[in-house]
Amino acid sequence: MAMERQQNPFDTPVPGQSLTDTPKRWAWENPPRFVNSEKAAQFIWGKLHKKETASKVIILLEAGVSVESLTKVLVFSGFIEGAYTPDVAFLITPIIEKMILAMGKAAKVEKININRPKEKETKKILESIFKSRDVNEDINSLKMKQKQKKTEENKKNNKGLMSKGDE
């Protein structure tokens, strides 16, 4: 059974607070950049095919994150940024799912999850993401390899008059 987060009943806006707030403070209070679903989809297509974003999407697909989950995150973040309205987001959702699926197939990801996994599977996916992408460990192993190469090169290059010679 899923545990729900406890919410403080007093941690809510005061009635009428939005009327006294600074206008156009949030991105969704301003007009969206795209009102046409085709242009919004092209905008996301361009964002998805940047090198950094594409590699992150492929890593997440390889780790077992579902296409549906990635799509929901992308669609919601576009709305929060003020790129499009919720109705345009609803219209472009299947298009974005197909984009992500195509990226996974092009990258030859073996097993692509279409739908969200169950709760137990989600824990396994998160563990695999954290295990496979330990950046500090990768950096330390690269530094150790570089040090070993330098010491081997120094041993080979020490053939001067004062060198120890072959052992």
pLDDT tens-place values along the chain, 167 residues long:
456 667 787 888 788 877 887 878 777 778 889 999 999 999 999 989 898 888 889 988 888 888 998 999 999 999 888 899 899 999 999 999 999 999 999 988 888 888 776 666 666 766 666 665 555 665 676 678 778 887 877 776 666 666 665 55
DSSP 13-68: PPTTHHHHSPTT-SGGGSPPS--SHHHHHHHHHHHHTSHHHHHHHHHHHHHT--HH
Instruction: Say what the pLDDT of residue 160 is.
Output: 62
Of residues 9, 27, 29, 10, the one with CA closest to residue 19: 29
| CB-based contact 38:86 (threshold 8 Å) | no
Give, rounded to a whole angstrom, the gap between the first and last alpha carbons of the chain: 68
Q: Provide the residue count of the chain.
A: 167
Which pTM value belongs to this model? Answer: 0.59
Instruction: Say what the pLDDT of residue 75 is.
Output: 92
Instruction: Say what the pLDDT of residue 44 is.
Output: 92
What DSSP state is assigned to residue 2?
Answer: P
Instruction: Say what the pLDDT of residue 164 is.
Output: 61
